[in-house]
Structure 1
Amino acid sequence: MPMVLEGDGGRDRGESERETFIRGARRRQLVECAIEVIAEVGLARASTVRIARRAGVSRGVLTYHFRDRGELIDQVIARVYELGAETLEPSLRVTTTPREFLLAFIGSSVEFYAAYPRHVAALHAVFAGFEDDAPTRGGDRRHIRELDRLGELLFEGQTRGEFRDFNVDVMARTIRQALDGALAHVVAGRPAQPYAAELQALFDAATRSAAPPSGEPHEAHDDPD
């Protein structure tokens, strides 16, 4: 039986942690390379060979880190949504009303597109892919969760009297479609801020209630002479 010296376990754990860190860094690098390739040539032409070439590794390295191309594509989707959450959360966290949240969501979404045009272009290309097994946005759990959260926000605004009465599902999907238009606008190299401001004004007007929110006093008016 080999002798186990004191401290060997800690050294093994240290080596294991380093290996895990290295593997994680390599996976992140490969995902970023996949994003670049998909944004440039589309999903259909983004082969594992092409992605591996962009990363400067063999195809075998790619298949070592990812079970198949489908897993890699799923990680591309996850990475873009992760970046989106990181970009939006600081602005959303400080909002105190549904109206503030809605305006921050719209503005920060467009800011995200401007900050990461390559990433959002890759995500759009993935969901627009015409492969039989290509992911669809309508079936993606992250997209569904985003729409659900937006719908809940709109319903809360109605409950509090900030928003008028409307179908929250239709409004949430309309906002999402309008943001898709902003994405195409920004990825084409056009200015983001004016587009974001116009969308904020548009949906503020489309959702706002004519009556003051519940719990707030109606504005007093002087009697006419």
Structure 2
Amino acid sequence: MRSNDGRTFTETARRTQITQAAIDVIAEIGYAKASIRKIAERVGVAMSVVLYHFASKDELVQAIINHAYREAIDAIVPELELERTAAGKLRTYILANAFFLRTHRTQYAAVMDIGMSYRTADGDLVNSLSIDPELMAGFTKLDVATILRQGQESGEFCDFDVERTATAIRGAVINGPIMEVMLNPEFDLDGYAEELVALFDRATRRG
């Protein structure tokens, strides 16, 4: 049988296996050293098998990014959709991201390294890669800027620059704790997330 993208389920399973192996290798030794050969060795297959499923390292990186987005969307968006207020969504966004980081440390480490090290053949950064169209609706819901706009439109949040505030929240919620978690396994991620909830509640609420 074939999935909606035309691949057999066996092919899809192998691609997922290779993608996860690539994440593990990149998290361990960094993107620059994570060759197709090393990834193939991790899976236990020949390089030709990896190249059959991914024609280039660029294609594999795109699969890693889409895999990371898909897992985050599947884990976080349903939690956001349970909330009826913008303040509730913002709180859930922060806490759910903290939980996701705690349970996906290897994935975060790999994606962060890719973000710092990856360049296309034309010198473009990782954000130049396209997101699977099927992920776009979930990706929009996952973006904290969407929550902030909803809060302002409903009158729940005060006036502020949405994009700048969203950048600050993303940095504090996602980028900020990653290095702490990697360097200090005992870092109190839950306590940190609760502090962020209080901080950004004060920064966004009206009155």
Corresponding residue for residue 161 of structure 1? 155
Alignment of 1:75-90 (within 5 A): 75-90=63-78
Corresponding residue for residue 46 of structure 1? 34
- Match for residue 182 of structure 1 among 158, 177, 185: 177
CA distance in 2, matches of 1:101, 1:84: 15
- Match for residue 53 of structure 2 among 65, 87, 94: 65
CA distance in 1, matches of 2:38, 2:83: 44
Alpha-carbon RMSD: 2.3
Change in CA separation of 1:138 and 1:147 when aligned onto 2, cut-off 3 Å: farther
Corresponding residue for residue 220 of structure 1? none
Cα drift, residue 192 of structure 1 = 1.5
Alignment of 1:1-225 (within 5 A): 20-129=8-117, 131=119, 133=121, 136=125, 138-139=127-128, 146=140, 149-179=143-173, 180-188=175-183, 189=185, 190-210=187-207
Which runs of no fewer than 5 residues in structure 1 stay unpaired?
A: 1-13, 211-225
Corresponding residue for residue 5 of structure 1? none
Which runs of no fewer than 5 residues in structure 2 stay unpaired?
A: none
Q: Which residue identity lines up with residue 48 of structure 1 in the other structure? A: I
Identity %: 32
What do the CA deviations read for 1:62-115 (whole angstroms, capped 9, x no partner)?
A: 111111111111101111111111110231110001111111011101111001
Q: Which residue identity lines up with residue 82 of structure 2 in the other structure? A: V
CA distance in 2, matches of 1:140, 1:206: 33
Task: Judge conservation of contact 2:158–2:204 (CA < 8 Å) in 1.
Answer: yes
Task: Judge conservation of contact 1:127–1:135 (CA < 8 Å) in 2.
Answer: no
CA distance in 2, matches of 1:137, 1:193: 29
Task: Judge conservation of contact 1:147–1:172 (CA < 8 Å) in 2.
Answer: no
Task: Judge conservation of contact 1:33–1:51 (CA < 8 Å) in 2.
Answer: yes
Q: Which residue identity lines up with residue 175 of structure 1 in the other structure? A: I
Give TM-score, length-normalised by structure 1.
Answer: 0.79
Change in CA separation of 1:185 and 1:171 when aligned onto 2, cut-off 3 Å: same
CA distance in 2, matches of 1:201, 1:79: 31
Change in CA separation of 1:75 and 1:149 when aligned onto 2, cut-off 3 Å: same
CA distance in 2, matches of 1:150, 1:141: 20
Q: Which has the higher contact order (CA 8 A, sep 6+)?
A: 2
Change in CA separation of 1:192 and 1:116 when aligned onto 2, cut-off 3 Å: same
CA distance in 1, matches of 2:40, 2:101: 26
Give TM-score, length-normalised by structure 2.
Answer: 0.85
CA distance in 2, matches of 1:175, 1:137: 21
Change in CA separation of 1:61 and 1:148 when aligned onto 2, cut-off 3 Å: closer
Secondary structure of the 1:79 match is helix
Task: Judge conservation of contact 1:48–1:59 (CA < 8 Å) in 2.
Answer: yes
